């Protein structure tokens, strides 16, 4: 049985290495002395005849040494055995790995490195740094876009800006906006919060101080397009609160 990478140890680091192998389309097999094997990717060491690179994915130094000795006893070449440590790895780094390495260059880089992969650790730090710098630029770009939209439509609230600036495909679709997105019904008259009734937010904001305001959040069950407005949860609640026994003497 042959593979590009033999992953020795299937803890946190092993799973991350597996992600890198998949991203770079490297063939792999997994050996773990302390886990029950599941799936065809798990093998015993005796099953492996050729592995271009063996990565020991164990954090404990004694365990690393035991794994190395076991590999050497089975006549694996010491030069293909490496110990890898990925620290606080994130799956979002995988794209950066793909930008930095091909399948061949990844294996060659690690094979040319020392047993503890000290040179690779420096490259890994660069990958993390570049990723963070890229994310900062993306956030700054979104902030600039958000500022332009806010400056162009100062009189609109956030949801109205979403409706005004987003690409319109149909009456019911997904609106994209910097930092988040939301589903909406474009056929409704109110382009602020997409309530069934148009809301006079100016009057609402400047209402009598004794008039209480309750905002109900929910799914389509709350909006309930298929029932009469008076039968919706919000309208029923408004009626109960404005009843003699319900509102404590305040209008709602």
| Euclidean distance between CA atoms 150 and 158, whole angstroms | 8
pLDDT-wise least confident of 21-30, 50-59, 169-178, 234-243: 169-178
Spell out the long-range contacts of 130-134 with Cβ–Cβ below 8 A and sequence spacing 24 or more: 130/96, 131/92, 131/93, 131/96, 134/96
Q: Is 55 helix (H, G, I), strand (E, B) or coil?
A: strand
Q: What is the model's pTM?
A: 0.61
pLDDT of 96-145, one tens digit each? 999 999 999 999 999 999 999 999 999 999 999 999 999 999 999 989 98
Give the contacts of 31 (CB within 8 A, at least 6 positions apart). 6, 7, 8, 9, 42, 43, 44, 45, 48
3-state secondary structure 29-41: EEECCCCCCCCCC
Q: Which two tokens stand for residue 219?
A: 């799914």
Least confident of 48-52, 94-98, 160-164, 172-176: 172-176
Summarised one tens digit per residue, pLDDT across range 209-225 is 889 989 887 777 888 88
Burial of 66 (0-12, 13-18, 19+ CB in 10 A): middle
How sure is the predictor about 4, in pLDDT bands with cuts at 50, 70 and 90? very high
Residue 99: C-alpha distances to residues 16, 42, 89, 118, 130 (Å): 17, 28, 16, 21, 11
């Amino acid at each position: 049985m042959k593979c590009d990478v033999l992953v020795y140890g299937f803890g946190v680091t092993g799973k991350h290495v597996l992600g890198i192998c998949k991203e770079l389309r490297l063939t792999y097999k997994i050996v773990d002395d302390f886990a029950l094997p599941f799936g065809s990717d798990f093998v015993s060491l005796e099953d492996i005849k050729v592995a271009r690179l063996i990565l020991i994915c164990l954090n404990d130094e004694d365990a690393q040494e035991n794994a190395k000795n076991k590999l050497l006893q089975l006549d694996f070449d010491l030069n293909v055995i490496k110990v890898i440590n990925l620290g606080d790895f994130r799956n979002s780094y995988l794209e950066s790995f793909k930008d930095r390495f091909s399948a061949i260059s990844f294996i060659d880089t690690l094979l040319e490195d020392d047993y503890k992969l000290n040179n690779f650790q420096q490259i890994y730090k660069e990958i993390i740094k570049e990723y963070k710098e890229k994310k900062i630029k993306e956030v700054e770009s979104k902030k600039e876009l958000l500022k332009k939209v806010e400056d162009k439509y100062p009189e609109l609230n956030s949801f109205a800006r979403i409706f005004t600036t987003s690409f319109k495909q149909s009456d019911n679709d997904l609106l994209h906006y910097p930092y988040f997105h939301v589903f909406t019904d474009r056929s409704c008259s109110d382009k602020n919060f997409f309530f069934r009734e148009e809301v006079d937010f100016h009057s609402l904001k400047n209402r009598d101080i004794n008039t209480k305001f309750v905002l109900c959040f929910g799914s389509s069950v709350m909006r309930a397009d298929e029932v009469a407005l008076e039968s919706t949860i919000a309208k029923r609640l408004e009626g109960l609160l404005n009843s003699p026994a319900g509102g404590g003497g305040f209008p709602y």
